[in-house]
Amino acid sequence: MADTHLPKRARDLPAGLWAAVDAADLVIHAGDWVSASLLDELARRSARLIGVYGNNDGPDLRARLPEIARVEVAGLRIAVVHETGPSGGRERRCAARFPDCDLLVFGHSHIPWDSEAPGGLRLLNPGSPTDRRRQPYATYLTAELTGGRLDAVTLHEVPR
């Protein structure tokens, strides 16, 4: 997930997303939490939580979260960052910035994104579960890792 903007855009995360959090082995938040209480609740409910701060996150969150997180999970090298710049040239720019990664999860735009850069870097943006901006639905992503590969990436639409 990314761009939750709690409590400014919503009072809480959608129930379906909380269910996914409770069931997941790993939860990723790509920034713009806005409220440290969401970080606390996700940390409490997640088996494992990876997060970064975004441009709307204040000093309290920036003190607790990195700008870029890197982790290896089941052989998959993952980086998480909030901003990647404009959509034009994103794949090449991110491949150059994260040459040692298999997957980059990012946020900021509130627009879901799924693409592959030259060299195989997969780029995923889950959109926002609370602020659909110019999209028809608010969204979040789930995925499965199998043998160091990303499988079953699913974009979930949050009912209005």
For 24-54, what is each residue's pLDDT tens digit?
A: 999 999 999 999 999 999 999 999 999 999 9
CATH 3.60.21.10 fits 15-158, yes or no: yes
Start-to-end CA distance of the chain, whole Å, equals 18
User: 118-141: per-residue pLDDT in tens?
Assistant: 899 999 999 999 999 889 999 999
User: 64-82: per-residue pLDDT in tens?
Assistant: 999 999 999 999 999 999 9
Per-residue pLDDT band at 147 (split at 50, 70, 90): confident
What integer pLDDT is reported at residue 34 of this predicted model? 96
Nearest to 87 by CA among 68, 114, 67, 57: 114
What is the residue extent of each domain of the chain?
15-158
User: 91-117: per-residue pLDDT in tens?
Assistant: 999 999 999 999 999 999 999 999 999
Q: Which two tokens stand for residue 143?
A: 């995925």
User: 7-20: per-residue pLDDT in tens?
Assistant: 988 889 999 999 99
Find out whether the peptide bond into 7 is cis, omega within 30 degrees of 0: yes
Rounded Cα–Cα distance for residues 69 and 75 (Å): 16
Q: Which two tokens stand for residue 60?
A: 């309290």
* CB of 129 closer than 8 Å to CB of 137: no
What integer pLDDT is reported at residue 151 of this predicted model? 87
What integer pLDDT is reported at residue 128 of this predicted model? 98
Nearest to 125 by CA among 87, 88, 152, 151: 87
- Whether this prediction's pTM lies above 0.85 is answered by yes
